[in-house]
Structure 1
Amino acid sequence: MIHKYVNRDRKRSSSLERLFSIMRSPIVTEKSNLRGSDGEYFFEVAMDANKIEIKRAVEKVFSVKVKSVNTCVSYAKVKRFRGRIGHRSGVKKAMVKLIEGRIELDVPASS
């Protein structure tokens, strides 16, 4: 019996549109460039995406085999600027480790 509060993503197929909307952008920093040679890549992903969906999206979009997915959520912070209250946007990051293959990220070089 399946519990009514458990979301069964394994049985749900993701549409191609959903897979492309999961991955927002690659995270390109010095650290991510160094880890890229080891087969680890970093992406900013949708907040409601889980590890299974992220794995499916990376495998489908880049045609590679994914070994593991680690996620980290940085929640929005409340900040003040000139007496006004605002907040930073929250972001979910995913570290994707590949079994084999390589992802070519076309990022413009800064001058």
Structure 2
Amino acid sequence: MSLLSMYNVIKKPLITEKAVEMKENLNQVTFATDARASKKLIKLAVEKLFNVKVKDVRTMNYKGKAKRFGRTMGKRSDWKKAIVVLADGEKLEFV
């Protein structure tokens, strides 16, 4: 692996209305990942961490928004969203 560890690639699952619907109907799970992670690295991390077979990975890059912190202006971090399509018969549950 590169500089990113398997445990640093996936930051958290994204649980929104749309993500839950995609999970139930299309067998797709959504994660917030490190912005430097590639599709191959995301696929490998999901397969190793959750013991599931991954069929496909789609990614989207998001720029951090400019925000005001009191008098000073700051910026939120850039991040990447990954939609992971699980193979037929595979299931992934979050508590």
Check whether TM > 0.5. Answer: yes
Unaligned runs of 5+ in 2: none
1:57-93 superposed Cα distances (whole Å, 9 cap, x missing partner)? 1111111111110111111222345542111222111
Q: How much does 1:49 deviate?
A: 0.7
Give ranges in structure 1 of 5+ residues lacking alignment.
Answer: 1-13, 107-111
Which of residues 31, 38, 45 in structure 2 aligns to 1:50? 38
Aligned runs of 1:59-78 on 2, under 5 Å?
A: 59-78=47-66
Matched to 1:23, the amino acid is I
How many residues are aligned here?
92
What's the C-alpha RMSD, in Å, of the aligned pairs? 1.8
Q: Deviations over 1:25-51 (max 9, x none)?
A: 000011100100121000011111100
- Could you say which residue in structure 2 is the equivalent of 1:31? 18
CA distance, structure 1, for counterparts of residue 49 and residue 70 of structure 2:
44
Q: Equivalent pairs: percent with the same residue?
A: 37
Report the TM-score, using the length of structure 1 for normalisation. Answer: 0.74
TM-score in terms of structure 2 length: 0.85
Higher relative contact order by CA 8 Å / sep ≥ 6: 1 or 2?
2
